[in-house]
């Protein structure tokens, strides 16, 4: 199974059944009255958030979905059967957008949440409906109306409390392994992580949070370099961003430069996302000589003009991770209590996420336009959006 976080489909609701024109005909009753029944309503298209799904790959192969039509009316005042609704299951965290109007139709963030995206057609009326004192034998009847047809874009964003931001090989996957039961792939080369992975961090028996690891971003990601730009949208729903910086980088770039690059690309992708709560995590302190450690840490802080929380850890040995995890849990619990006391905070959070979503969609469309121009210039004749589809490594505890 492949990980796919975006798909475009067409949905068409069912047509309403036609009304029937009929007259009662029985022995000894040669001129009975009208008895044509109504048709049935057409089936609607409904999207359902299902926790058992974690990718939109099924919608890559089947692009068109049709609900059942309503049955036509029948004589003896029999109403036609309603068309069955078509329920399409999507992963939790799916945003539904009408591509023709750019309207966000639904944001399915809870298990079992439903959204009707195409209304079935209304039933036609039988000639019985038109009987009156002056029209005893009406021949009028109406046809059922057509169901709605929509072109939809489905965007999946992973649901996590904490998101990890950093360059390749910063130790994001190692950190997820250290604090949770998840086992994302870890190796000593860049772009080991090709798809987002999730890990559940349990601090106590009934206290936990979810952390999301996404592919690392590199300089020029906003112009199409690397893989991270495709997955930065998954950070839109996080309440905390952990900016991991490698203090012992594998290439010639300094930790301070690496930290600045990540922040710069984040700003290019979504200025609103860059303004969200972010904590600085300096990783691999065990690989830096003691006499150089303080200098490297201070260089990163100065390069970012950092004034927020700073943590020093060695994810591979779990050094310093306990304190970081404890503070994250305390912060998230305090945030939840504040929302309970003031529900308006939740609405403000939703508005911020909507802004981030809009900025992310705009940036990704710009990126696609750049890639399209490159194709036209024969710089990358074999480029295809599916070239980046890889085997899923979606992991939960």
How do residues 308-341 score in pLDDT, each as one tens digit? Answer: 888 999 888 889 889 999 999 999 889 888 888 8
3-class SS letters over 268-327 = HHCHHHHCCCEEEEEECHHHCCHHHHHHHHHHHHHHHCCCCCEEECEHHHCECHHHHHHH
CATH class of 6-156: mainly beta
Cβ 127 vs Cβ 19: under 8 Å: yes
pLDDT value of residue 217: 74
Measured from the Cβ of residue 286, the count of other Cβ atoms closer than 10 Å reads: 16
Inform me whether the pLDDT recorded for 180 exceeds 60: yes
For 251-265, the pLDDT digits (tens) are: 778 888 888 888 888
SS3 329: helix
pLDDT band at 372 (very low <50, low <70, confident <90, very high): low
Q: What angle do CA 390, 375, 150 make, to 5 degrees?
A: 70
pLDDT band at 388 (very low <50, low <70, confident <90, very high): very low
Catalogue the E-assigned strands of 119-175. Answer: 149-156, 162-165
Inform me whether the pLDDT recorded for 147 exceeds 90: yes
Mean pLDDT for the stretch of residues 187-209: 69
Non-local (6+) Cβ contacts of 193 within 8 A are 172, 173, 184, 185, 213, 214, 215, 216, 393
Inform me whether the pLDDT recorded for 281 exceeds 70: yes
CA atoms of 220 and 257, how far apart (whole Å) = 14
The first and second tokens of residue 147, run together, are 């169901």
pLDDT value of residue 79: 93
Instruction: Provide the edge-to-edge strand list for the sheet that holds 114-118.
Output: 86-91, 45-50, 114-118
CA atoms of 181 and 196, how far apart (whole Å) = 16
Segments making up each domain of the chain, as ranges: 6-156, 162-388
Cβ 19 vs Cβ 36: under 8 Å: yes
pLDDT value of residue 9: 94
pLDDT value of residue 374: 65
Which has the closest alpha carbon to 166: 287, 68, 300?
A: 300
- In terms of pLDDT, which residue wins out, 209 or 216? 209
6-156 and 162-388 in the same fold: no
DSSP letter, residue 232: G
The first and second tokens of residue 302, run together, are 């100065």
Write the DSSP string, 70-130.
Answer: PPPPBTTTBPPPPPPPEEEEEETTEEEEETTTTEEEEEE-STT-EEEEEPPPPPPPPGGGG
Which residues pair with residue 154 across a beta bridge?
A: 7, 96
Inform me whether the pLDDT recorded for 119 exceeds 80: yes
Note the CATH number of domain 162-388. Answer: 3.40.50.300
């Amino acid at each position: 199974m492949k990980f796919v976080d975006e798909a475009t489909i067409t949905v068409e609701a069912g047509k309403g059944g036609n009304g029937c024109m009929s007259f009662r005909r029985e022995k000894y009753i040669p001129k009975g009255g009208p008895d044509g029944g109504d048709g049935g309503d057409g089936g609607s298209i409904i999207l359902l958030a299902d926790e058992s799904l974690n990718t939109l790959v099924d919608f890559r192969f089947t692009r068109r979905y049709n609900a059942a039509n309503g049955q036509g009316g029948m004589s003896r005042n029999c109403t036609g059967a309603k068309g069955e609704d078509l329920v399409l299951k999507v992963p939790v965290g799916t945003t539904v957008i009408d591509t023709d109007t750019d309207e966000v139709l639904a944001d399915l963030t809870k298990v079992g949440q439903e959204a009707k995206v195409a209304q079935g057609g209304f039933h036609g009326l039988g000639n019985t409906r038109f009987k009156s004192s002056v029209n005893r034998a009406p021949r009028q009847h109406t046809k059922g109306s057509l169901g709605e047809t929509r072109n939809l874009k489905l965007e999946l964003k992973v649901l996590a409390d904490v998101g990890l931001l950093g360059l390749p090989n910063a130790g994001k996957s190692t950190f997820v392994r250290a604090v949770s039961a998840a086992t994302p792939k870890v190796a000593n080369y860049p772009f080991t992580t090709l798809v987002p992975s999730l890990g559940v961090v349990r601090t106590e028996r009934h206290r936990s949070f979810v952390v999301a690891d996404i592919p690392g971003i590199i300089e020029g990601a906003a112009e199409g370099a690397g893989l991270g730009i495709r997955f930065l949208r998954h950070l839109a729903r996080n309440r905390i961003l952990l900016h991991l910086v490698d203090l012992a980088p594998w290439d010639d770039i300094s930790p301070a430069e690496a930290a600045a690059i990540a922040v710069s690309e984040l700003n290019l992708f979504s200025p609103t996302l860059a303004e969200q709560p972010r904590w600085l995590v300096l990783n691999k302190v065990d690989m830096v000589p003691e006499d150089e450690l303080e200098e490297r840490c201070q260089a990163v802080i100065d390069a970012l003009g950092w004034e927020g929380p700073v943590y020093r850890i060695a994810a591979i040995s779990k050094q310093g991770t306990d304190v970081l995890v404890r503070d994250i849990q305390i912060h998230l619990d305090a945030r939840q209590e504040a929302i309970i006391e003031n529900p308006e905070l939740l609405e403000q959070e939703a508005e911020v996420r909507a802004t981030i979503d809009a900025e992310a969609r705009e940036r990704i469309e710009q990126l696609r336009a750049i890639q399209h121009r490159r194709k036209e210039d024969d710089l990358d004749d074999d480029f295809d959006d599916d070239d980046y589809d890889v085997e899923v490594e979606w992991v939960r505890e």
